[in-house]
């Protein structure tokens, strides 16, 4: 492993994902350690460029930085901040679940990264524990904008097939619609996984998982972890809501973390929605 690409010496293979291979590399002149994602197909270069352009404009303590993007010998390469440490998925698996305190701490940091992205009309679309790394200091960093896109740019959605990780997909994503609220659904799935060690929507096939998701049919987290607080349970209930309009936003999650009493405030729109539902029947 001594291959050099445009002044970067590849030092270690890190893994492969939906878009290509990822290597650790060292920049020869600055000696900076980076992660380089090599895209397997040149036809996807534009999608990759989209990932690069989106991430390059992003500066947030809980989102991995992007340094460069270039095409070398027909190979599109994305140069990113190298984030050392395990993924949140590995940490959850190792510990079976996380303490409530740790889960709320990570929830707040990821919600703040999502709020930052959503303020800029960027949707992540692939938020999951496997795409979050924990640094040596225990700080979560969001990786992988492979599926991210500007909220107002539908170009890459006309693929005709589902993209994303099924278990974290929001109900509306099954009909090809993704919005900021879809990331908030995935945040609810992530919070549930941190607290219980299980995905709220498990099944043996994608279509079975899809059916459960579209009905928001999940086991109460308290059934799996009786010690889970009422606040955590209510927060999950307000994130795993089928209607995207009624789901909490990332900003609302941050507000609730600051002031958990907000969870108990009743939704004043609810009686009107019920009435409207009856009138439509």
Catalytic residue annotation: 126
Ranked by CB distance to ligand ATP, the top (closest) residue is: 17
Of positions 32, 75, 130, 260, contacts ligand ATP by CB under 6 A: 130
- 8, 19, 171, 221: which one contacts ligand ATP (CB under 6 A)? 19
Between 27 and 251, CB nearer to ligand ATP: 27
In the complex, least distance from residue 108 CB atom to ligand ATP, rounded to whole angstroms = 22
Give the Cα separation of 39 and 66 in Å (integer): 15
Q: Is 215 annotated as a binding residue?
A: no
Q: Stretches 41-49, 77-85, 233-241, 270-278: which one binds ligand ATP (CB under 6 A)? A: 77-85
Question: Residues 9, 10, 11, 17: which binds ligand ATP (CB under 6 A)?
Answer: 17
Cβ-based neighbours of 146, under 8 Å, separated by 6 or more: 17, 18, 19, 51, 126
Contact call for residue 87 and ligand ATP (CB under 6 A)? yes
Q: Give the alpha-carbon dihedral of 34, 87, 139, 126, to 10 degrees.
A: 90
Residue 169 in contact with ligand ATP, rule: CB under 6 A: no
First to last CA, the chain: 65
Could you give the CA distance from residue 114 to residue 215 in angstroms, rounded to a whole number?
25
Q: With the CA atoms of 58, 182, 134 and 254 taken in that order, what torsion angle do they form, in degrees rounded to the nearest 10?
A: 80
**What whole-number distance in Å separates Cα of residue 116 and Cα of residue 145?**
14
Q: Which residues are annotated as a binding site?
A: 37
Annotated binding site for ATP: 37
């Amino acid at each position: 492993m001594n291959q050099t690409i445009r002044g970067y010496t590849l030092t270690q293979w890190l893994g492969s994902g939906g878009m290509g291979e990822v290597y650790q590399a060292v920049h020869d002149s600055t000696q900076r350690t980076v992660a380089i994602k090599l895209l397997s197909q040149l036809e996807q270069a534009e999608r990759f460029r989209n990932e690069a352009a989106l991430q390059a404009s992003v500066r947030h303590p809980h989102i991995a930085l992007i340094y460069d993007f270039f095409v070398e010998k027909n190979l599109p390469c994305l140069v990113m901040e190298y984030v050392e440490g395990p993924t949140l998925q590995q940490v959850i698996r190792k510990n079976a679940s996380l303490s409530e305190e740790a889960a709320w701490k990570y929830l707040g940091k990821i919600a703040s990264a999502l709020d930052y992205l959503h303020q800029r009309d960027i949707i992540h679309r692939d938020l999951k524990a496997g795409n979050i790394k924990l640094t040596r200091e225990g700080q979560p960093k969001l990786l992988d904008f492979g599926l991210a896109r500007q909220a107002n740019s539908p170009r890459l959605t006309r693929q005709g097939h589902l993209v994303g990780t099924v278990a974290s997909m929001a109900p509306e994503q099954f009909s090809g619609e993704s919005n900021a609220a879809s990331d908030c659904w995935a945040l609810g799935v992530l919070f549930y996984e941190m607290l219980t060690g299980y995905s709220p929507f498990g099944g043996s096939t994608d279509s079975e998982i899809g059916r459960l998701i579209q009905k928001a049919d999940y086991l109460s987290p308290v059934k799996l972890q009786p010690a889970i607080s009422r606040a955590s349970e209510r927060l999950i209930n307000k994130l795993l809501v089928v209607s995207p309009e009624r789901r909490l936003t990332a900003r609302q999650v941050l507000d609730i973390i600051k002031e958990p009493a907000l969870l108990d405030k009743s939704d004043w729109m609810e009686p009107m929605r019920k009435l409207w539902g009856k009138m439509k029947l």
